[in-house]
Structure 1
Amino acid sequence: MKIVIIGAGAMGSLFGGRLAQAGEEVWLLDVWEEHVAAIRAHGLTLVDTAAETSIRLNATTQADAVGQADLVIIFVKAYATQAAARTAAGLLGPATTVLTLQNGLGNAETLAKVLGAERVAVGTTAMGATLLGPGRIKCGGHGPTHIGSFSGGATPRLHDIATIFTRAGIPTVVDNNANALVWGKLIINVGINAITALTGIPNGQVMANAETRELVRLAVAEAEAVARASGISLPAADYFDQVAAVAQATRDNRSSMLQDVTHRRRTEIDAINGAIVAAGQRLGIPTPVNETLTLLVKTLEKTYLV
């Protein structure tokens, strides 16, 4: 299968590397020229507890160089989804599937408007990775990946994709309730990302301290209330326990938002905690903890974004 990954940061590179190792034709498409150049010259280096592995795969900054894809995976930040959708439009063949594994709300809707809902699949992943530098990533936690059709239901193509992912060491299942998948991942991100970004701690320490544990409990409870008021049938009964499990599984990983703050980049706070605040305002549900976390992260951004 020819797979194009738009957004070759930590997670995009992790998926690309694993899929290339499994024998798939993989293209990493990213605007970071130094990263692309390093991969083209030396391969992508995956660092894990066992060893460092160099993987050869295609990498480019130019979408025109790629051609039509069987599968396009979107891994850009939520605020770049519109641009990624336009790029993906140039990669479509007759049966191309476009899969978003991004954080936050609204990404699938943006892709569907540009590409057509029938092409779009959504998913979540508990895999983890940290970008070490150009051409180098560190593998973080391991966990399941769930994918589903944006339009609902499960198609043979999705099952084929799940099989390919699983064979590549990315255990994947097809789920019929895609909207609930996205909300479930959102609530987990609500409990981890902003807190780690503000404190500088890795995922595993979020539940280790009484103070951050209480922040998790309050933020997650607000997000659960907003989800249920939105009519979402959440797949888990208690997301505090879900956050604890994910934090432990990815204990050595630095969240994507913490990585953004460390590298002085714009964060996805508006699509995560900020999305809970916005939905709560529409529904008349108070979300003071998520509002405070959102304001603090945006204040932190203003210290380095000019």
Structure 2
Amino acid sequence: MNTPSIAICGIGSVTITILHALVQNKVPFTILCQDTLRLESLRTPIHFQGPQGKPKEMQLSEHLEMVNSAKDTFDYIFLGCKNQKLKDYIESTKHLLKPNGKWILIQNGLPEEQFPSLKEKIIGGVVGWNTQYLSTGVYFQSNVGSLILGGADQSQPDSIWHSLLEPWIPVILTEHLLGYRWHKLGINAIINGLAASKQTSLGDLFLNLEHRKEAISILSEIKMVMKQLHIKEEVVPGSFPIQKLGDGESSLPNWIRHLILIVLGLKYFKIRTSMVQDLDHRRKTEIRSINGEVIEAAKRVGVSVPMNEKVVSEVIQLENQY
């Protein structure tokens, strides 16, 4: 097997989970750091715990390089930054990408749409797991989840990704990236966007009747936008179709939809998703790349999405308090 050269630029909860899989499979990789402080911080071992495992220590020192002084070029570069920094990360790493190399964008939302001229150079990565940084200093992956990889140009990525990441991360290769992107966008619009607007855990969110009604309204609006865009939903494994949770065609009875959200709240009762944690730490959120993307798409097809607009407005108000 000819192992491709892989780099990761932007180290956080999602990329730590990917690094864990690469380490376990003894796949070489390079971590590209944007500043010396981040590089020095990564010399300290990282502790990672999978869904059923015990915390493991990962030594990353030998993999570290500064992005502006790296000499090697790579077949693939994972970009693990926030959506709002993507353009800067693309610009700072383009000299390190091989002529036939590709960036892998693992952000939420619709990040590929920022780069229409680079479609042949981009693979979208839809993440199906949740990893949090705990107060104990451990990165904890709370559920087994897939990484769905699909070309922004609707091509199917190389099958080598199965051997690079599995069994630690199940891999799905697809020509239908947009269907998965919109499914995850809908889920994030409630577990990230709506939860951030309330600044609450998933348990407190989905055990509240009024909040569940708002979640269903958000998904109903997204269903209408998808219908107008002629996007067929592709469901991330372990998730639930937003076509069945939102109002209208294919929806389940209302009491079952509420029950599904209650079960979700009970299962992840204490989880404060990434945008809620951003507000907890007085950081800007990615609300414009989640519910904000829904609003922009709705404008293009003439669909009204007042609940998504309300969520964006409320989160921005919370951001502006800090």
Paired residue for 1:284, among 302, 308, 321? 302
Cα 1:132–1:184 shift into 2, 3 Å: same
Return the letter of the residue paired with 1:238: K
Task: Give the percent of matched residue pairs that are identical in Structure 1 and Structure 2.
Answer: 23
Report whether the alignment pairs 1:199 with 2:237. Answer: no
Q: After the TM superposition, which of the residue ranges 25-34 and 173-182 deviates more from structure 2?
A: 25-34
| Displacement of 1:162 | 3.4
| 8 Å contact from structure 2 (residues 123, 150) kept in 1 | yes
Within 5 Å, give how 1:109-258 maps onto structure 2. 109-111=113-115, 113=117, 116-132=118-134, 136-155=138-157, 157=158, 159-167=159-167, 169-235=168-234, 236=241, 237-239=243-245, 244=261, 252-258=270-276
Paired residue for 1:46, among 20, 42, 48? 48
| 8 Å contact from structure 1 (residues 141, 252) kept in 2 | no
Largest Rg, 1 or 2: 2
TM-score, structure 2 as length reference: 0.82
Return the letter of the residue paired with 1:291: E
CA distance in 2 between partners of 1:77 and 1:37 (Å): 21
State the number of aligned residues: 297
State the SS of the aligned residue for 1:121. Answer: strand
Paired residue for 1:295, among 303, 307, 313? 313
Q: After the TM superposition, which of the residue ranges 286-295 and 259-268 deviates more from structure 2?
A: 259-268
The corresponding residue for 1:21 is 24
| Displacement of 1:59 | 3.4
| 8 Å contact from structure 2 (residues 80, 106) kept in 1 | yes
Paired residue for 2:109, among 90, 104, 111? 104
| Displacement of 1:204 | 4.5
| 8 Å contact from structure 2 (residues 207, 265) kept in 1 | no
Q: Which runs of 5+ in 1 are unaligned?
A: none
Return the letter of the residue paired with 2:86: T
CA distance in 2 between partners of 1:211 and 1:224 (Å): 20
State the SS of the aligned residue for 1:184. Answer: helix
CA distance in 1 between partners of 2:203 and 2:316 (Å): 24
CA distance in 2 between partners of 1:27 and 1:108 (Å): 23
Cα 1:179–1:50 shift into 2, 3 Å: closer
| Displacement of 1:185 | 1.0
Return the letter of the residue paired with 2:201: P
Q: CA RMSD in A?
A: 2.7
Cα 1:51–1:190 shift into 2, 3 Å: same
Cα 1:247–1:271 shift into 2, 3 Å: farther
CA distance in 1 between partners of 2:131 and 2:276 (Å): 12
The corresponding residue for 2:5 is 2
CA distance in 2 between partners of 1:22 and 1:130 (Å): 22
